[in-house]
Structure formats: C-alpha cells, structure tokens
Amino acid sequence: MSYNKKTVRDIDFSSPKRVLLRCDFNVPIENGEVTDDTRITASIPTIRYILEHGGSAVLCSHLGRPKGKVNPEFSLAPVAKVLSKLLGFDVPLATDVVGVSANALAVALKPGKAILLENLRFHAQEEANDPEFSKRLADLADVYVNDAFGAAHRAHASTAGVAAYLPAYCGLLIEKELAAIGGALTDPKRPFTAILGGSKVSDKLGVIENLVKIADNLLIGGGMAYTFIKAQGGSIGKSLLDADKLDYVAELLKNDANGKIHLPTDTVITAELKAGAATRTVPSGEIPDDEMGADIGAQTAAAYADIIANSGTVIWNGPMGVFEIEDFANGTKTVANAMAATQGFTIVGGGDSLAAVNKYGLAEKMNHNATGGGATLEFLEGKVLPGIACLLDR
C-alpha cells in the first residue's frame, strides 16, 4: 500500500467544488451533549481548508452501532451543534443520509458552507459497502476526501466504496497519520524502538510480527509480558496468560538472534488489583502462585527509558501496567516521560497509551498522537487499509 497519497491540497478549487468529507465524529454523547469533542476538533483544519478555498463540504460520519436502523439515540444532532460552534455558522443536519433531506441540502449548499448528513450506519448498506449506496453518496458531491483515519481499516461505502465514483483524496488528518506512521515503518530514523504493552499477546500478534522485522528494539510490557516470561520458563503466578500463544512466543524468542526483544527483568506484584493493596517488586520470573504482576519494575522502567532516550524513532502502543491505579502506574509514567524527553521522533497510538499521555499532561510533547485505535494497529501490522488504498496516489 502506497503511503504517498494526494491530499485535499491537490484539489483544484478554481471552480466551486462540493466535497464529500468523511470524518470521524464517533464521539461520546451523554444526555444529548458531546462530552469529548477531540475528534470533532481534529476535523476542523480540513473543513476550514475546503471552505476557505471556495469549496463546500458535505460532512458524513458514523456514530456508535445502530445496526443498520434509525435510532435517535445515535443521531449526529449533538455533533452538528458542536460543529456550528467551532465553525462559527449554522451547520444544518440532514434528517437522512441519501434521501430527500440530504439531496435538498446538498443542492442548496453555497461555497464556504457545510452540512452534516445523519448517521451513516442508520443504513445497513454502509457497512456492507453496497455499490448503489456508495453511488448515492457520491452523487451528493464533486470530489471525495477521507479524513477519518479511525475508520480507514473498514471497507465501508463511505470509506472505500465512494472512491469508485469520485476522485478520492485524503484530508489533513490522514495526511499526518501517513507521514508519521508510514514514515516510521518505511524509513525510520534509527535506532527505531517499538514499545508494546496491553493485556494480550493475541491482540498484538500481527504488530509483533511486523515490527520485529523493522525495529531495532521491541520493548515488551503490560499483561502480554507474562506470556513471554512464562515461555522462558518463568513463574508468573496469577498474572495474565495467553496459554495458547506460549509456543508461538517461545519460537519468536528462539528466533530473536539479534536480541531485539526486551522483556521486564523485575515486576511489581500484588495479591489483588486495587488501590492501596500491598505491593512488592520481584524478579520477573519469580512471581508466587498466589500473586500477580501489575506493572514493570523500576529497574525495567529505567532500562526502557534509557533505550528510548537513545532512539531516533519511538512508537508506543499499550501501557506497561494497570496505570489506572496509581500503585501500578510507575512503568507507564516512566515510559511516557522518557518519550516526552527524547530527541527522537515519537508516536503514540492506542486508546490506553493516549489516555496515559493525556493523564500525565504529555500529549503535546509527543510528535504524533495517532487518532485511530484499530486502524493504527492494522497500520502497524503492515496491513492494507481500504480507506487509504482507495485514495489517489501521487
């Protein structure tokens, strides 16, 4: 998959153009109000670029899982309200996606203005990537721009299907993702260090397989580390274990002739995962049967921080421990601080890792905070992302 795609900047706006802009407005809503507008705010630069260059924007997105049926609980009305505030003018919400309301609003749309379609997933044809539905979406505009990186790994009508009917470009948000993550995977400044945490090895199998070929260092932490330690013959007590992945991990370690894979040498353990519980630090392979690992130890955290400090590129996906509980947060906090301090290019991906850097006030010190959960993982796996592959190459 080529990462060198044409962007919204390549669209010729010398004559007015109506742009179908796929955004990621899948935001939390409570009592009819958006409680976190981060994803909406992230779309504003692309929207403004289109409007300021004389274009108009037909915005579309999914929200939640309405399962192909109209459900007022998943209406994008609260999103339209936030967009209106951010853009400084009323952004009308169509009462449908490809029906009478959407068509009427699109036809009446003036340069410099935007409308929002209702939830794409009110139609089962969206997730089915139905060609007729894709064509009806495409008929609303002259050109297509995808700026929803979080949905780029899905071959849906609005992320891939419409590209069969309209010239397809990426927005400024996806452009940043391609430059940052694509650049790290294809031409990283070395040493290239990947940090992988989280609960299960099975969740990161593809990522491990891809990155172990590319990276110079693979730092393992979180719950997934205990499967590696068990595969080495260590005792892990009641720690998380992917038992069916033990042979796979053992083979991976056996083939790691260059010593790229780094595992925790010490572990913070406890009998129960709760605030205030008794903790102590032991060698990683010496966890008693009635206790469990909850964080990498201070020795491991310091060693990982040293590797990060001397890296040219660092990608982090997954916490080092149960960081939501302060007693088990030191490893995650140490890694976050090391990334914030390094001179290397830093990329943070995955909801928990992003939550950690936000919690510690370090998000702005990272070079790139990825916006897609599943899309970021599949990107790191080296998979083809349908919502990217369909865009025009340079």
Q: How far is CA 295 from CA 204, 307, 315, in A?
A: 18, 18, 19
Is 18 one of the annotated active-site residues of the chain?
Answer: no
Cβ–Cβ under 8 Å, residues 350 and 198: yes
Residues 122 and 218 in one domain: no
Q: Are strands 33-34 and 29-30 parallel, antiparallel or unpaired?
A: antiparallel
Confidence check: pLDDT of 352 > 90: no
Residues 152 and 263 in one domain: no
Answer yes or no: is 275 within a domain.
Answer: yes
Is 351 one of the annotated active-site residues of the chain?
Answer: yes
Asked, as a colleague might, if the bond just before 191 is cis with ω within 30 of 0, I would say yes
Is 190 one of the annotated active-site residues of the chain?
Answer: no
Residues 114 and 151 in one domain: yes
* Listed residue (365, 256, 302, 363) closest to 42, CA to CA: 363
Confidence check: pLDDT of 72 > 80: yes
Answer yes or no: is 1 within a domain.
Answer: no
SS3 for the chain, per residue? CCCCECEHHHCCCCCCCEEEEECCCCCCEECCEECCCHHHHHHHHHHHHHHHCCCEEEEECCCCCCCCCCCHHHCCHHHHHHHHHHHCCCCCECCCCCCHHHHHHHHHCCCCCEEECCCHHHCHHHHCCCHHHHHHHHCCCCEEEECCHHHCCCCCCCCCHHHHCCCEEECHHHHHHHHHHHHHHHCCCCCEEEEECCCCCHHHHHHHHHHHHHCCEEEECCCCHHHHHHHCCCEECCCCCCHHHHHHHHHHHHCCCCCCEECCCEEEEECCCCCCCCEEEEECCEECCCCEEEEECHHHHHHHHHHHHCCCEEEEECCCCCCCCHHHCHHHHHHHHHHHHCCCEEEECCHHHHHHHHHCCCHHHCCEECCCHHHHHHHHCCCCCHHHHCCCEC
Residues 159 and 248 in one domain: no
Residues 143 and 259 in one domain: no
Exposure string for 236-245, b = 16+ CB within 10 A, e = fewer: bbbbbbbeeb
Confidence check: pLDDT of 351 > 80: no
- The structural domain count of the chain equals 2
Q: Confirm whether pTM is higher than 0.75.
A: yes
Phi-psi region of 106 (alpha: psi -120 to 50; beta: other; left: phi over 0): alpha
Return the CATH number at 351: 3.40.50.1260
Partner residues linked to 59 by β-bridges: 21, 116
Q: What pLDDT was estimated at residue 116?
A: 98
Residues 290 and 192 in one domain: yes
Residue 151: phi and psi, rounded to 5, are -115, 5
**Distance in angstroms (rounded) separating the CA atoms of residues 192 and 277:** 37
Set 81, 200, 260, 383: catalytic member: 200
Q: What pLDDT was estimated at residue 3?
A: 84
Residues 197 and 131 in one domain: no
Q: 160 is in which domain, residue-wise?
A: 8-175
Reported as a pLDDT band with limits 50, 70 and 90, residue 73 is very high
**Model confidence over 355-386: pLDDT tens digits?**
899 999 999 999 999 887 788 888 888 889 99
* Listed residue (156, 170, 130, 300) closest to 225, CA to CA: 300
**Model confidence over 232-278: pLDDT tens digits?**
999 999 999 999 999 999 999 999 989 999 999 999 999 999 999 99
Is 200 one of the annotated active-site residues of the chain?
Answer: yes
Answer yes or no: is 388 within a domain.
Answer: no
Residues 354 and 207 in one domain: yes
Boundary (domain end) residue, out of 146, 175, 204: 175
Set 99, 206, 351, 373: catalytic member: 351
Tokens 């205990």, residue?
226
Residues 262 and 169 in one domain: no
Average pLDDT of the residues in 337-356: 93
Boundary (domain end) residue, out of 121, 149, 175: 175
Cβ–Cβ under 8 Å, residues 205 and 180: no
Average pLDDT of the residues in 186-197: 95
Q: What pLDDT was estimated at residue 299?
A: 98
Residues 205 and 353 in one domain: yes
Residues 146 and 20 in one domain: yes
Reported as a pLDDT band with limits 50, 70 and 90, residue 200 is confident
**Distance in angstroms (rounded) separating the CA atoms of residues 224 and 263:** 10
**Distance in angstroms (rounded) separating the CA atoms of residues 76 and 41:** 15
Answer yes or no: is 65 within a domain.
Answer: yes
Cβ–Cβ under 8 Å, residues 124 and 2: no
Set 68, 183, 206, 374: catalytic member: 374
**Distance in angstroms (rounded) separating the CA atoms of residues 98 and 226:** 50
**Model confidence over 105-155: pLDDT tens digits?**
999 999 999 999 999 999 999 999 999 999 999 999 999 999 999 899 999
Answer yes or no: is 110 within a domain.
Answer: yes
**Distance in angstroms (rounded) separating the CA atoms of residues 315 and 306:** 15
Residues 257 and 351 in one domain: yes
Neighbours of 309 (CB within 10 A): 15
Answer yes or no: is 393 within a domain.
Answer: no
Answer yes or no: is 3 within a domain.
Answer: no
Q: What pLDDT was estimated at residue 246?
A: 95
Boundary (domain end) residue, out of 129, 145, 175: 175
Answer yes or no: is 202 within a domain.
Answer: yes
